[in-house]
A and B are shown apart, each in its own frame.
Chain A
Amino acid sequence: MADVRSIAEAVFREQSGRIIAGLIRISGSFDMAEEALQDAFASAMDAWAARGIPANPGAWIMTAAHRKLIDAVRRERTRSAKQDSLAYETASAGISIDVEHASENPMTFPDDRLRLIFTCCHPALNVLAQIALTLRTLGGLSTPEIARAFLMPEPTLAQRLVRAKRKIQEARIPYEVPCGDRLAPRLAAVQGVIYLIFNEGYSATFGPELVRGDLCAEAIRLGRVLCELLADAENLALLALMLLHDSRRNARVLDGALVTLDEQDRSLWDRKAIVEGLELVETALRCGPVGPYQLQAAIAALHAQAATPAETDWLQIAALYQRLLAMNPSPVVALNHAAAIAMSGALEDGLRRIDELERAALLGDYYLLHSARADLLRRLGRMEVALAEYRKAAALTKNAIELRFLERRIAEVGGACGTSC
């Protein structure tokens, strides 16, 4: 019995995305697809417990889900045809006629996951909805799992999912892969969602934990699927970037405390992930016009290649940030650029740039600005001002682990200051 359940769960994790993508194409309905899939899994548990696990569990489930979907679609059609035409155009009326051809061998169905991911990440849906739909359909995560990951109450998240699916229906968001010059901006949106999921797992904004490994793993998995489905230099670079960041996961938090890059025990870095990441970066950079993910991945690669902090090629990193800034003039990138310049030896220059950023009132409430400035001031030996900046940063951060780190610095710097601070 435990066997059946764990196999079914494994199949679900691996295959549900692909299965549901096809079911949505046939029925035009996220809800009907989900129901058919769930029914199929329920049947699988019963049938396999009674008659043993089939040779190809994935195919079994796909076939069962298709059959249940077709039945449901036919029932829905009969029902709406009988109804008074007083009703609004219901979801069922929008069902594609593909259902008639769905009795073909389900194994010959194309992989519709690309359509699914582009639909989930449509800009007419708000970002939370995009993330939730992506994790639910492609990730196979349950509603409570997603709610937990984003620290939201479950009913709230469930409501967001309902609204998102309704919007897809009502506004007629098409279930297609955008073509022509529509593709690039839409692909950027998909990459953005995956990276958001990764970042949420990597350094949570709220809450007691700094890293939620399962979200990172899920984002990386989605990144792999995207690369599999669509060969694109930026897709490869995004995957590389996530792998390289993730490789440092074990070294980043020690005894519940944050360990900065320069203090990390590099022997704890995941070498396998680094090797794969570096290969991907190289391939991506060879592939085509350089985009923002390629630059970020290249920066991450330089860090990964440094055996010790002192061996970090900060000059190159600063140059890469400069290129990134030209592409993506965000204050956060400017901050990273300034920090890199400082670390490459020009501490005063870096500080000056950070001061400019603050004067431009672009990052006032961003704790990392104060934290970065505090760090540089500390390196310059200007302890009093460093302490003040660390305190400002501490007041602004919402993450418990980041806060503990800042408090540690405050204690260190305060100690170095003596009684005058």
Chain B
Amino acid sequence: MRYMMLIYSRETPDPLTPEQDHQVRSGHRAVMQETAQRGIFLGAEPLAPTSTATTVRVQDGRTLVSDGPFAETKEQLAGYYILECANLDEAIEWAARIPTGCKGQEGCIEIRPMPGLTKRPAGPADQAAVNH
């Protein structure tokens, strides 16, 4: 089953020291390499900081756009991994190795199972593809 690992970290205005940065990067590199070797790595991405975020919502039929993340929580989503694991315990083991100090301070990893989309409905586009 696929699990998404959401990395929550406290954003600090100060950049990481070279040592911290190196530690974080090598931590990520190790997890990515090992999971890739086992064929369970399905993706990982850092996200740009919340200062660059924009939130969109609909109110009374109008689309409202506002600056910033959807919630001003102390810890913010810094990035994610997607790994194929046999069960939750395996997912937990990998999650425990993912560095969370990406934004400067120790954070945590939220693990969510990914159920996947339901089957794609056959539509005209697919029909067209079939006919050609």
Give the interface of A toward B (CB within 8 A). 85-89, 122, 124, 170-174, 176, 178, 182
B87 at the interface (CB under 8 A from A): yes
Known: A87-B118, A124-B88. 13 other contacts (CB 8 A): A88-B118, A122-B88, A124-B92, A171-B88, A171-B111, A171-B113, A172-B86, A172-B87, A172-B88, A173-B87, A173-B88, A174-B86, A174-B87
Residue of B nearest to A85 (CB): B119
A122 to B88, CA, bound (A): 10
Tally of A-B Cβ pairs under 8 angstroms: 31
Say yes or no: is B1 at the interface (Cβ < 8 Å to chain A). yes
CB closest chain-A residue, reference B119: A86
In the assembled complex, B72 has its CB within 8 A of some CB on chain A: no
The residue on B at minimum CB distance from A94 is B1
Q: Establish whether residues A182 and B89, one from each chain, have CB atoms under 8 Å apart when the complex forms.
A: yes
Count of B residues near A, CB < 8 Å?
Answer: 12
Q: A85-B119, A86-B119, A172-B1 are in contact. Are A178 and B113 (CB under 8 A)?
A: no
Q: Is the CB of A178 within 8 A of B118?
A: no
Q: How far is the CA of A87 from the CA of B87 in the complex (A)?
A: 21
26 contacts between A and B (CB under 8 A): A85-B119, A86-B118, A86-B119, A87-B118, A88-B115, A88-B118, A89-B115, A124-B88, A124-B92, A170-B113, A170-B115, A171-B88, A171-B111, A172-B1, A172-B86, A172-B87, A172-B88, A172-B113, A173-B87, A173-B88, A173-B89, A174-B86, A174-B88, A174-B89, A182-B89, A182-B93
Give the docked Cα–Cα distance between A420 and B117 (Å).
75
Q: Residues of A contacting B93 with CB < 8 Å?
A: 182
Give complex CA distance A182, B86 in Å. 16
Give the nearest-CB partner of B120 in chain A. Answer: A86
User: Could you tell me the distance between the alpha carbons of A178 and B87 in the complex, rounded to whole angstroms?
Assistant: 12
Q: Which residues of A contact B115 (CB under 8 A)?
A: 88-89, 170
CA distance A104 to B16 in the complex (A): 61
B123 to chain A, nearest CB (A): 14
Q: Distance in Å from the Cβ of A166 to the closest Cβ of chain B? A: 12
Query: Measured between alpha carbons, how far is A359 from B88 in the docked complex, in Å?
Result: 42
Most buried by A among B89, B118, B119: B89
Q: Which residue of B lies closest to A122 (CB)?
A: B88
Chain B residues within an 8 Å CB radius of A174: 86-89
A174–B1 Cα gap in the complex (Å)?
12
List which B1-22 residues lie within 8 A (CB) of chain A: 1
Please indicate the chain A residues that have their CB under 8 angstroms from the CB of B86 in the complex: 172, 174
Residues of B within 8 A of A87 (CB): 118
Docked Cα-Cα span, A217 to B24, in Å, equals 50
A residues near B113, Cβ cutoff 8 Å: 170-172
A87–B116 CA distance with the chains assembled, in angstroms? 11
Q: Considering only CB atoms, which chain B residue lies closest to A178 in the complex?
A: B89
Q: How far is the CA of A172 from the CA of B93 in the complex (A)?
A: 14
Among residues 68 to 98 in chain B, which have CB atoms less than 8 Å away from a CB atom of chain A?
86-89, 92-93
Cβ of A176: which chain B residues have Cβ within 8 Å of it?
89
**Highest count of chain B CB atoms <10 Å: which of A88, A171, A174:** A171
Q: Please report the C-alpha to C-alpha distance between residue A89 and residue B115 in the assembled complex, in whole angstroms.
A: 8
Contacts of A88 in B (CB 8 A): 115, 118
- Alpha-carbon distance A170/B113, docked complex (angstroms): 7
CB distance from B110 to the nearest CB of A (A): 11
Looking at the assembled complex, report how far the CB atom of B91 sits from the nearest CB atom of chain A, in whole angstroms. 8
Bound CA–CA A17/B86 (angstroms): 27
Rounded to whole angstroms, the CA-CA distance of A88 and B86 in the bound complex is 18
> Which B residues are CB-close (under 8 A) to A124?
88, 92
Instruction: Write out the residue numbers on chain A whose beta carbons fall within 8 Å of the beta carbon of B111.
Output: 171
**Complex Cα spacing A124 to B115, Å:** 18
B2 CB to nearest chain A CB (Å):
11
Question: How far is it, in angstroms, between the C-alpha of A353 and the C-alpha of B16 when the chains are bound?
Answer: 41
Which 8 A/B pairs are nearest by Cβ-Cβ distance? A174-B87, A172-B87, A171-B88, A173-B88, A86-B119, A172-B88, A171-B113, A174-B89
Q: Which residues of B contact A178 (CB under 8 A)?
A: 89
* Distance of B90 from chain A, by nearest CB (Å): 8
The minimal Cβ–Cβ distance linking B49 to chain A, given in whole angstroms, is 29
Identify the closest chain A residue to B90 (Cβ): A174
Q: In the complex, what's the smallest C-beta–C-beta distance from A120 to chain B, in angstroms?
A: 14
Q: How far is A171 from B114 in the complex, measured between Cα atoms in Å? A: 9
For A170, give the chain B residue with the smallest CB separation.
B113
